[in-house]
Amino acid sequence: MADFLTPEERSKRMAAVRGKDTKPEMIVRRLVHSLGYRYRLHDRKLPGRPDLVFKSRRKVIFVHGCFWHHHADCPRSRLPATRVEFWTRKMSENEQRDCKNQLDLKSMGYDNMVIWECEFKNMSQLTDRIRGFLG
């Protein structure tokens, strides 16, 4: 299937993809705040600039999009039909970077949790998971 956008239009559209304050991140932030936890956002001093940082607890939360971070066995993480080689390499690099950041955080004494956007289907289960991680 050919791309219906010109390369310039595609570039503009991809450049508009947000890196922070995304809808999934905002949902998690509201949920965590409603549970009574306070946090900092995107600490530049920490590897990977985690989405939520609980410094006193030495814990961080990453909110990952299933597509961009290539969530294994998730229907949302399918590779596009065009430029398969590019996307395969890009997703592999994203996974390696995420893994390295999590290992670096662990070596700094931080526990980390990854929340995938597909987990929003069951908010009560997600709430319990967050409580267990932060509690």
Residue with the bigger pLDDT between 28 and 84: it is: 28
Q: Which helix (H) or strand (E) holds 7?
A: helix 7-15
Residue with tokens 């905002």: 26
Q: Which of 111, 109, 102 is nearest to 64 (CA)?
A: 102
Mean pLDDT of the chain: 90
- Of the pLDDT bands very low, low, confident and very high (cuts 50, 70, 90), residue 68 is confident
Per-residue pLDDT, 8: 84
What is the rounded distance in angstroms from the CA atom of residue 122 to the CA atom of residue 135? 20
Could you read off the pLDDT of 70-119 as tens digits, one per residue?
A: 898 888 888 888 888 998 999 999 999 999 999 999 999 999 999 999 99
Per-residue pLDDT, 6: 83
Which segment of 24-33, 41-50, 63-72, 105-114 scores lowest on mean pLDDT?
63-72
Give all domains of the chain, ordered by start, each with its CATH number.
19-134 (3.40.960.10)
Residue with tokens 């596009």: 80
pLDDT surpasses 70 at 18: no
115: left (phi over 0), alpha (psi -120 to 50) or beta: beta
